[in-house]
Amino acid sequence: MSQDKPHQNLAIIGHVDHGKSTLVGRLLFETGSVPEHVIEQHREEAEEKGKGGFEFAYVMDNLAEERERGVTIDIAHQEFDTDTYYFTIVDTPGHRDFVKNMITGASQADHAVLVVAADDGVAPQTREHVFLARTLGINELIVAVNKMDLVDYSQDTYDEVVGEVRELLDQVRFDTEDAEFIPVSAFKGDNVAERSENTPWYDGNVLLEALNDLPEPSPPTDAPLRLPIQDVYTISGIGTVPVGRVETGTLNTGDNVNFQPSDVGGEVKTIEMHHEEVDYAGPGDNVGFNVRGIGKDDIRRGDVCGPADDPPTVAETFQAQIVVMQHPSVITAGYTPVFHAHTAQVACTIESLDQKLDPASGEVAEENPDFIKSGDAAVVTIRPQKPLSIEPSSEIPELGSFAIRDMGQTIAAGKVLSVNERT
Ligand code: GDP
């Protein structure tokens, strides 16, 4: 696998059980990202048990194991490459925090594959994920209409599902010109790496071709270090070890760093990555590190680590553009749901509804609306009920988006326009 190729972070989204994990397994399998001897072993086992055709059981088992282990410091990202790109699947599909991670920057995807099962069509999480992808600025979508084997590779069923998905994309103002539709079977392998004889009526790209043809992602920003803290451990012989993922900038031993909103800091003594000591870490690296003079109770999950001379911003209030995805009634000023931003979860009050926007043009449709409801886009002013470190999306997009959750659901997502800093 070559890391010299341009890198793409790819999100696999879609309703539960529509085949996301199976498709990831199939992609790894078809691109030779799983050692052949391991596959061979499972092929033999499968054949012995009369389960031919499930030769990528190994890949699937591994994914399941990942899922059970949950988020750890060395989240094993799935990786594969095509002729043009080196791909990382940015989150383990099926993971409980998937939606939240998608929004909060724990998985900044460049592009997404939307998996829709042909026998089920557009389902609730299909809507949720498409909406989030759109809000988060994913502009290119590959739509894999999966489980074609279950509908006898019927072109009519395929066309019906494509129609449903187009309608959904139109609803969230996703430019359907930028979406590519492919009939696949993740399970059998149709139209993933090779054109399938089962779909003679389809003459478009197969999935790997479509991935290969994606536009190059935008280059990383030259933003200062921002490292949201996921957990804080005490490790004997080392001391306090905050862990998290570097979102922007670099972390070097000897750096003078600062944690916000806890407002403490010190010199970086050691950095560990994949159980090895390193001198520095960059964007995308999951690290544990140790800072001189910082005790376990000085910092917490939700803090952001940055350079002492350019510390993370802490908001007194912030203005944001949000899109309401699903809310049973209406949202008015004073509403205080939980905001999920990077690794932080903080109750925040929507202090004022400043403007309602036309979601298609982005132009102001109404000043100071009395309420907003599902499907509305708006500019609002937000007051965190506890200190929250967050950044304007225009300056550090990785730390500038959030999800609003209430009643166990993502009800809205948004981007920070400006921050009124705590003094
Ligand atoms: P996820 O929840 O979206 O990750 O879905 P999974 O990948 O776990 O798949 C859910 C179920 O659908 C599993 O039992 C898979 O074996 C099955 N499945 C996935 N893709 C296909 C497919 O292309 N054809 C058929 N027949 N079954 C599939």
Ligand 1 residue neighbourhood (C-beta within 6 Å)? 14, 16-22, 93-94, 146-147, 149-150, 185-187
Q: Taking residues 7-36, what's their average pLDDT?
A: 84
Q: What is the mean pLDDT of the segment spanning 149-177?
A: 92
What does the domain layout of the chain look like in residue ranges? 7-213, 227-307, 314-421
What is the pLDDT, as a whole number, of residue 110?
79
State residue 293's pLDDT score: 92
Average pLDDT, the chain: 85
48 or 231: which leads in pLDDT: 231
Domain 227-307 carries which CATH code?
2.40.30.10
Residue 287 has pLDDT above 70, yes or no: yes
Q: What is the mean pLDDT of residues 151-160?
A: 98
Q: What angle do CA 55, 78, 231 make, to 5 degrees?
A: 135
**Which amino acid belongs to residue 393?**
S
DSSP strands (E only) in 334-406? 338-341, 344-357, 364-367, 377-384, 388-389, 401-406
Minimum CA distance residue for ligand 1 atom 17: 19
CA dist 242 and 245 (Å) reads 10
Residues 93-117 have pLDDT tens digits of 444 455 555 655 545 677 899 999 9
Indicate the pLDDT class of residue 257, thresholds 50, 70 and 90.
Answer: very high
Task: Answer yes or no: is 135 a known binding residue.
Answer: no
Check pLDDT > 60 for residue 273: yes
Residue 61: band (very low, low, confident or very high) from pLDDT cuts 50, 70, 90 = low
227-307 and 314-421 agree in CATH topology? yes
Fold of 7-213: Rossmann fold (3.40.50)
pLDDT band at residue 154 under the 50/70/90 scheme: very high
**Is the distance from CB of 84 to CB of 10 less than 8 angstroms?**
no
Does the pLDDT at position 70 exceed 50?
A: no
Question: Which of 15, 16, 22, 59 to mutate for ligand 1's pocket (most ligand atoms within 8 Å of CB)?
Answer: 22
Query: 317 CA distance to ligand 1 centroid (A)?
Result: 44
Strands of 111-117's sheet in order across: 78-81, 86-89, 7-14, 111-117, 141-146, 179-183
Has residue 306 got a pLDDT over 90?
yes
Position 146 scores a pLDDT of 98
pLDDT at 324: 85
Q: How many CB atoms are closer than 10 A to CB 293? A: 12
pLDDT tens per residue, range 378-400: 999 999 999 999 999 889 888 99
Fold of the domain built from segment(s) 314-421: Elongation Factor Tu (Ef-tu); domain 3 (2.40.30)
Task: Tell me phi and psi for residue 165, to 5 degrees.
Answer: -70, -40
pLDDT value for 359: 62
The pLDDT value given to residue 281: 93
CA–CA separation, 264 vs 240, rounded Å? 13
Q: What is the pLDDT of residue 102?
A: 60
Provide, rounded to the nearest whole percent, the portion of the chain with pLDDT above 70.
83
* Pairwise pLDDT comparison (115 vs 57), residue with the higher score: 115
